Structure 1
Amino acid sequence: MKNCQGVMSSECREIARNSKSKLLRSEVETLSHCTDTTWLLPCNKRKRREDYTCLYDRISELPDDILVTVLSRLTIKEAARTSILSSRWRYLWKWFNGCLNFDNPLTMGDYNWTLGLGSQPLDVERHKFVSWVNQVLRSLQCHSLEGLRICFDVASNGDIHNWINFAVEKKVQKLDLDFSRVQDFSWPVAEYTFSPHLDSYSSFSSLTALSLNTVAVTGEALEHLLSCCHFLEVLTVIHSPCLTSLKVSGPSLRLKYLKLHLVLLQYVEIDAPNIISFEYSGSGIVFFRDVPNLTEVSFDRFFCTYIMNKLRQLSTILLQLHTLKLNLAFVSVPEAVPYDLPELCNLKHLEMEINLFDDDRLLPCAAFLRACPSLYKFTLKLFRVHPSSGTARTVKDHPYLSVCELSVRVVELVGFEGQRAETEFVMYLIEKAKLLEKIIIDPCIPKYLGTPKELLYRDSEEYHSARKHAIELGARFPLWDFVIP
């Protein structure tokens, strides 16, 4: 046997031993998910036999369609690197038909904060990014494409037009266009306008998922697109100032997941029998028509103000929910909420976000907990503008909420600091929730979760101080399972 630079993983080696006539679909799946690609490296005659052992390369003998299937499970960069293996692999990557993900970190998100770079290299990196995308798209020869994701701050509408035309030509199934601007720069936000030619939307008939961020699109255009895309199941629209009204309806509509973050939206009507999940951030009124399968909703604070005053009118929708997420930060909650709230008999997961500048901000949480007899998990995200004054009425002082029993089994508090109101609320839950199994207390600021700032904050003195308070609280109740990250 020859010597080589790498060793094939046991998983890949087993597949390589099989002849191509006996290769099963399951084996291709295993191979395509294998992260050990060192078996692809060429042999190095200078290595000694005692270093590594190279098996006979049966992988390269597989049919092209199988190899392309494997390559399409990689990223486009990883797939392109295989072109150096041998002449057999040189052009295979050009038939890549998986998900193309062009996310330029140098032009997206917290640019200065994350990378510590100035603004001068931004234009240079933007130009490099556009050139790279164009070069890849020109090279690909596949007939269809699973997905195309481009995260980029708008600089050239001409290039974006070409990218979308490429998606149409390749019958892309998942299209994600994120043209939001760099947060640390103050120049006006430039928006790309989605094709104004409505007839062209019929070309997107293969779409199953569409996400538009900082893309100018009208309600008329979206409604026409929904009527043309009979397989569309996921629709996300974020920041489109020209979108003021929207009607989501259609006899053949397959839409299951709808996410709208539109501050200027004034009116939304949803008549979609297959819709399962709806996430909404905006001040416009939402009218629910035929939504029998809707079980998950998430409402931001603008619409939550409307909800808190229309609980009885929305009871039909609330009663069918399994998951409810409410952002009540800076929302004025009427005192009648505990009495007006209908029994949410099907709710299994409740998530609420509040700003704890007064102790009575926890009253709506207790009211919703009381109204959920089948609740399994309650997640509370705490946000502060300044410490609690400690002068408002607490949950234990409320005549209606202090005498109830709760059914919740798992409680998660995110953003815990150890303030008196937080501690008393945990004690209230322990006393009233007889079936309580676990209490998760995470001192991390909610908005930092999943971002680069999370790791930095978890190393801060503020975090460790709050974590110490959480540990001390857990020690007071040894019979309960406290989980503290």
Structure 2
Amino acid sequence: MDCGGTRRKRERCEDSSDAKRESGIDDLPDEILVSILSRLSLKEAERTSVLSRRWRYLWTFTSGSLEFDAWNTKKGTPMSRKGFREWVNHVLELHENDQIDSFIVRFQVLWAARFLDNWIICALKKQPRNFELNLSLEPIVRRGYEFFKLPELTKHGLQSAFGNLKSLELASVDITDEMIHYVAASCCMSLERLSICASYSTQSLKLIDPMPKLKFLSICQCLNIKSVDVSVASLVSFTYSGTAIALSIKQCSNLNELELGGGLSPSFLFGADKYLGDSIHLERLSFDLPYLFGEIPREIVSINLPHYQSLKHLEITAMSVIWRSLLFFTMLIKTCPLLEEFKIEVGYTLDPQMERAVLFPDVQAAEAPKFHHTNLKRVGFEGYIGCPSNNEFLIQLFKIAVSLQEMTIDTRNNDFLILAYDARRLKNIRRWIEQIPCTYAGSREEAKKMAEEMCSSLHLKKPQVIIS
């Protein structure tokens, strides 16, 4: 593929009528027009090629973003593989500027796809400040496309290609530890964002200062990763989702946003100080608690939650069984004296065998703390199905949050279909059915009615309650 090494002479309209046309954008020099086009999206800039012969190739000199998104189409369906490849090849063959702001590819690839090598070579020669390669609609870990290793970079003369990099985002791309560390070292003074998702080859990540601009770090669904060690004072936001690993973020003094999911969540939930050190200054915290077996303390006496003295926003996503109490989360709220907003989304099953896989303790009413929280103003509950544990939890929140301004109860979820399937699947097994000790709504409409009845019984004057 010709990556634009030969400068093309742009065709100009020499029609004598040009001299008679009124003053306008066509009177501007090419440099100004190219600067304007560089602020447009790639597709918008390409469209200007039909305006006249002078405009035909102006877009090829832009320095903005080369963004190729197979999923962002007017029809709402992804581009065909053939059509997408032809589009990318066409643009990279014509594009002349040796520097660009961003190179972005979002495209479903289920195999090694070595044709991507040419795209990456062309892109890296232009030294983009933002580089994104997303090869899956979902972060699926598999042996697919392998990113260049250091010898291959040297072979193509790309050793210095990352010097200006501000953002690197890879999804469903295998990249080795050595390569990540090389890139980080190459752009340590400029890198602001690093995201590695669903990389089969990533095993151990270590990032240390000086990295004065790194603010956002995300490591998700990397199947073979064993450890993450981050000591970067400028880091503001960290996201990790995956299996339990050796994690250290103790030297990140400016960290105030943390999002965790998977096997590490329960360990962090009950021992955050082990990962963050003595001083916990987080302002935003999100937990994803999926079904996993054998991960949490079973006895209430073993619960020793860390205190989040600065936390203002707490968001929980959890899987459970419909009869299990949610009052544990009031204990978590108590550890956050400055909390202003609490959101929780709960997904359910009827299968008693899954109770052992729920990642939060079953706290009963007698064990739940009794307290008043003066800063909690907004509460959101998503996944309401009208079961007793839902109502018990919401009523307790109304009592606790004495300054509550808004409560949102959301019934929009797919759990009604899942629960109906579970009921059919388990209906012939009497001992399982007998273990389902509570009722629940069979539809969204029924859930909304149950929520309205619950709120009406409390005779609430404040706060505002929104049921959807």
TM-score range normalised by the length of the shorter chain: 0.7 to 0.9
Distance (Å, rounded) in 2 between the aligned partners of 1:479 and 1:404? 16
SS of the counterpart of 2:81? helix
Structure holding more helix per residue: 1
Distance (Å, rounded) in 1 between the aligned partners of 2:301 and 2:206? 30
2:91 equivalent among 136, 146, 149: 136
The residue number in structure 1 matching 2:329 is: 365
The structural deviation recorded for 1:431 is: 0.9
Identity of paired residues, percent?
28
Distance (Å, rounded) in 2 between the aligned partners of 1:324 and 1:383? 19
Report which stretch shifted further, 204-213 or 326-335: 326-335
The residue number in structure 2 matching 1:15 is: none
The residue number in structure 1 matching 2:37 is: 71
Cα distance, 1:396–1:407 mapped onto 2, change above 3 Å:
farther
1:105 equivalent among 60, 64, 71: 71
The residue number in structure 2 matching 1:39 is: none
- The answer (yes or no) to whether the contact 2:45–2:59 under 8 Å persists in 1 is yes
The residue number in structure 1 matching 2:126 is: 170
Distance (Å, rounded) in 2 between the aligned partners of 1:304 and 1:444? 25
- The answer (yes or no) to whether the contact 2:172–2:197 under 8 Å persists in 1 is yes
The structural deviation recorded for 1:470 is: 3.7
The structural deviation recorded for 1:171 is: 1.4
Instruction: Give the letter for the 2:90 counterpart.
Output: Q
Instruction: Give the letter for the 2:215 counterpart.
Output: K
- Deviation digits for residues 412-453 of structure 1, max 9, x if unmatched? 112222222112211111111111111122223399xxxxxx
Cα distance, 1:387–1:474 mapped onto 2, change above 3 Å:
farther
Distance (Å, rounded) in 1 between the aligned partners of 2:452 and 2:345? 18
Structure 1 residues 79-478: aligned runs within 5 Å: 79-105=45-71, 125-154=80-109, 157-180=113-136, 189-197=142-150, 200-230=158-188, 231-261=190-220, 262-282=222-242, 283-314=244-275, 316=277, 319-330=280-291, 332-334=295-297, 335-336=299-300, 340-386=304-350, 397-403=365-371, 405=373, 407-445=375-413, 462-476=443-457, 477-478=460-461
- The answer (yes or no) to whether the contact 1:320–1:346 under 8 Å persists in 2 is yes
The structural deviation recorded for 1:71 is: 2.2
The structural deviation recorded for 1:469 is: 3.5
SS of the counterpart of 2:277? helix
The residue number in structure 2 matching 1:14 is: none
Structure-2-length-normalised TM-score: 0.77
- The answer (yes or no) to whether the contact 1:354–1:361 under 8 Å persists in 2 is no
Cα distance, 1:235–1:252 mapped onto 2, change above 3 Å:
closer
The structural deviation recorded for 1:163 is: 1.1
- Deviation digits for residues 295-343 of structure 1, max 9, x if unmatched? 1111113101322453453463672111111112335442458852232
The structural deviation recorded for 1:100 is: 2.1
Structure-1-length-normalised TM-score: 0.74
Instruction: Give the letter for the 1:428 counterpart.
Output: Q
Instruction: Give the letter for the 1:175 counterpart.
Output: F
Report which stretch shifted further, 303-312 or 235-244: 303-312
- Deviation digits for residues 162-209 of structure 1, max 9, x if unmatched? 11112211111111111237899xxx9451111112654432111100
Structure scoring higher RCO (CA < 8 A, sep ≥ 6) equals: 2
Distance (Å, rounded) in 2 between the aligned partners of 1:336 and 1:80? 63
SS of the counterpart of 1:259? strand
In the comparison of the two structures, how many residue pairs are matched? Answer: 402
The residue number in structure 1 matching 2:9 is: none
Cα distance, 1:361–1:260 mapped onto 2, change above 3 Å:
farther
Cα distance, 1:318–1:325 mapped onto 2, change above 3 Å:
farther
Cα distance, 1:420–1:201 mapped onto 2, change above 3 Å:
farther
Cα distance, 1:164–1:393 mapped onto 2, change above 3 Å:
closer
Question: Considering only aligned residues, what root-mean-square deviation do their CA atoms show, in Å?
Answer: 3.4
SS of the counterpart of 1:216? coil
Cα distance, 1:222–1:244 mapped onto 2, change above 3 Å:
same
Distance (Å, rounded) in 1 between the aligned partners of 2:127 and 2:332? 46
Cα distance, 1:337–1:280 mapped onto 2, change above 3 Å:
farther
Distance (Å, rounded) in 2 between the aligned partners of 1:204 and 1:309? 39
Distance (Å, rounded) in 1 between the aligned partners of 2:285 and 2:414? 17
- The answer (yes or no) to whether the contact 2:139–2:197 under 8 Å persists in 1 is no
Instruction: Give the letter for the 2:447 counterpart.
Output: A
- Deviation digits for residues 225-244 of structure 1, max 9, x if unmatched? 11111311101101112211
Report which stretch shifted further, 417-426 or 268-277: 417-426
- The answer (yes or no) to whether the contact 1:352–1:365 under 8 Å persists in 2 is no
The structural deviation recorded for 1:405 is: 4.0
Distance (Å, rounded) in 1 between the aligned partners of 2:138 and 2:315? 30
The structural deviation recorded for 1:222 is: 0.7
Question: Does 1:484 find its partner at 2:467?
Answer: yes
Instruction: Give the letter for the 1:105 counterpart.
Output: W
Cα distance, 1:163–1:304 mapped onto 2, change above 3 Å:
same
- The answer (yes or no) to whether the contact 1:337–1:367 under 8 Å persists in 2 is no
Cα distance, 1:201–1:180 mapped onto 2, change above 3 Å:
farther
Cα distance, 1:350–1:309 mapped onto 2, change above 3 Å:
closer
SS of the counterpart of 1:102? strand
In structure 1, list runs of 5 or more residues that go unmatched: 1-54, 108-113, 116-121, 448-460
SS of the counterpart of 2:287? strand
Distance (Å, rounded) in 2 between the aligned partners of 1:393 and 1:182? 30
In structure 2, list runs of 5 or more residues that go unmatched: 1-20, 416-441
- The answer (yes or no) to whether the contact 1:181–1:189 under 8 Å persists in 2 is no
Instruction: Give the letter for the 1:251 counterpart.
Output: P
Instruction: Give the letter for the 2:195 counterpart.
Output: T
